[in-house]
Structure 1
Amino acid sequence: MLEFKYDTQLLIEGKNLNEDEISEYFTTHFKGDCLLAVGDDELIKIHFHTNEPWKVLEYCSTLGEVYDIVIEDMDRQSRGLKG
């Protein structure tokens, strides 16, 4: 069984985005692993494994426009089912 069930991926488009600040927020406020927050001050790509993807979406929506959202159930995928 996986500790963190949902692979959460999205893009944030905004102004004055800071990948270091976003990464720090994730590590101090969310339970999860495999964090990737990369980009520049106008576009950040997020990849994160968590059990609470709605919290990630809620936070990211405060930073700018969120799009290309993908949330996959890795537990289902590991059983050969569509995630």
Structure 2
Amino acid sequence: MLEFRYDTQLLIEGNHLNEDDINEYFRNNFKGDCLLAVGDEDLIKIHFHTNEPWDVLKYCATLGEIYDIVVEDMDRQSRGLKG
């Protein structure tokens, strides 16, 4: 069984986004791994494995408009099912 079940990916469009601040917030407030938060002050790509994707979405929505949201269940995928 996987420690972190959900592969959570999205884009954040906003103003004055800071990838270092976002990375730090994730490290201090969410349990998970495989964090990728990259981009510029207008657009950030998030990739994160967690058991609470809804918390990630809630936080990211406070930063700007979120879209291209994908939450995949990696446990189901590992069993050959649609994630």
Range of TM-score over shorter length:
over 0.9
- 3-state SS of paired residue (1:75): helix
Can you give the 5+ residue segments of structure 2 that lack an aligned partner in the other structure? none
- 3-state SS of paired residue (1:37): strand
Matches within 5 A, 1:25-64: 25-64=25-64
Deviations 1:49-79 (A, max 9, x none): 0000000000000000000000000000000
Partner of 1:69: 69
TM-score normalized with structure 1 length: 1.00
Number of positions where the alignment pairs a residue of Structure 1 with one of Structure 2: 83
- 3-state SS of paired residue (1:11): strand
CA RMSD of aligned residues (A): 0.2
Structure 1 segments of 4+ aligned residues over 6 angstroms from their partners: none
Partner of 1:2: 2
Can you give the 5+ residue segments of structure 1 that lack an aligned partner in the other structure? none
